[in-house]
């Protein structure tokens, strides 16, 4: 129904505000435009109150723009008749693991979305099993969710989305309540899904997650203020500092070493890159001396 080269999600001049009393509105998003390409891994960062969560809720029509339009695979989110189609296409995982699980047994919860879109029972069974296997929670299918850890609950939430076979998953600060182990779990799942072609949008303030993305959008006061690859964005340490955002330690180390030894790359952002660069430096000197 839509052109494959067409971006999956197109956000056009979107403005949005929450209505306070006396018709006063509190502007949250101001004239935002960007695209999410098919198969892309996009991170949206910004400190609390920058509007990033509100923006995320526009991507599957949970909120609709007051001005401008959001198009999902060619469908306008303002069209009420298309809402189900849009949400089948763009799934969303939220911050609190506890507050998005509906059922009292894991597999029932995964089936919840499928029941809503009227999938026949036999197909449902198969899709639920598949989705649970994708997040590595198949063995837990008969368990009540309240005995699971936060990371496991979030994997259940993701699998509930996967069962609906969406083109894109939006993670709205989905790791912020998890411990490091749980966070690693989720990142591993997302990485695997991305490799299988899933489009991923993650809203986060963990810089270690941003490193995984193809592209970063930085928000401040309802506007997009920076955009680029994580490598480019993390180069601008001072600008990020002004925006009250951090950079990963690996990036900080890379830049500090680069200042002393210019041959050492200053644009590294991941720990393994730093280790590799040390090795490469040794290899390079060996070549120079050996040859």
Nearer to another protein, 14 or 154 (CB): 154
User: Shortest Cβ distance from residue 98 to another protein (Å)?
Assistant: 6
Q: For the beta carbon of residue 134, count every other beta carbon within 10 angstroms.
A: 18
Pairwise CA distance, residues 251 & 158, whole Å: 30
C-beta of residue 245 within 8 angstroms of C-beta of residue 47: yes
User: Shortest Cβ distance from residue 99 to another protein (Å)?
Assistant: 4
User: Shortest Cβ distance from residue 5 to another protein (Å)?
Assistant: 27
Pairwise CA distance, residues 181 & 34, whole Å: 33
Nearer to another protein, 33 or 140 (CB): 140
Alpha helices in the chain (DSSP H): 52-58, 83-89, 106-116, 121-134, 150-162, 180-195, 207-210, 230-235, 237-242, 249-260, 271-290
Nearer to another protein, 31 or 82 (CB): 82
User: Shortest Cβ distance from residue 273 to another protein (Å)?
Assistant: 10
User: Shortest Cβ distance from residue 235 to another protein (Å)?
Assistant: 17
Nearer to another protein, 65 or 97 (CB): 97
Per DSSP, the residues of 200-221 read EEEE-S-HHHHTT-SEEEEEET
- From the list 281, 253, 285, 251, the residue with the least C-alpha distance to 269 is 251
Nearer to another protein, 95 or 229 (CB): 95
């Amino acid at each position: 129904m839509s052109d494959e080269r067409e971006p999956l999600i197109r956000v056009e001049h979107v403005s949005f505000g929450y209505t306070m009393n006396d018709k006063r509105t509190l502007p949250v998003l101001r004239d935002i435009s960007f695209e999410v390409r098919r198969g892309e891994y996009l991170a949206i960062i910004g400190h609390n109150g920058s509007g990033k969560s509100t923006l995320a809720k526009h991507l599957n029509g949970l909120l609709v723009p007051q001005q401008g339009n959001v198009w999902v695979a060619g469908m306008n989110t303002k069209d009420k008749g298309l809402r189900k189609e849009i949400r089948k296409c763009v799934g969303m995982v939220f911050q609190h693991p506890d507050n998005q699980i509906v059922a009292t047994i894991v597999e029932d919860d995964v089936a919840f979305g499928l029941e809503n879109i009227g999938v026949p029972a036999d197909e449902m069974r198969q899709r639920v099993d598949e989705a649970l296997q994708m997040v590595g929670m198949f063995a837990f299918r008969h368990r009540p969710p309240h005995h699971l850890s936060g990371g496991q609950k979030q994997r259940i939430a993701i699998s509930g989305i996967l069962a609906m076979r969406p083109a894109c998953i939006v993670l709205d600060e989905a790791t912020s309540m998890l411990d490091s182990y749980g966070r690693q779990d989720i990142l591993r799942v997302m990485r695997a899904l991305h490799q299988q072609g899933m489009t991923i949008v993650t809203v986060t303030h963990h810089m270690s997650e941003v490193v995984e993305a193809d592209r970063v959008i930085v928000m401040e006061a309802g506007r997009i203020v920076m955009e680029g690859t994580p490598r480019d964005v993390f180069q601008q340490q001072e600008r990020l500092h002004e925006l009250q955002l951090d950079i990963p330690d690996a990036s900080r180390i890379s830049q500090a070493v680069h200042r002393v030894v210019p041959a050492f790359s200053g644009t590294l952002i991941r720990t393994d890159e730093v280790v590799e660069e040390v090795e490469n430096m040794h290899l390079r000197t060996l070549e120079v001396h050996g040859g």
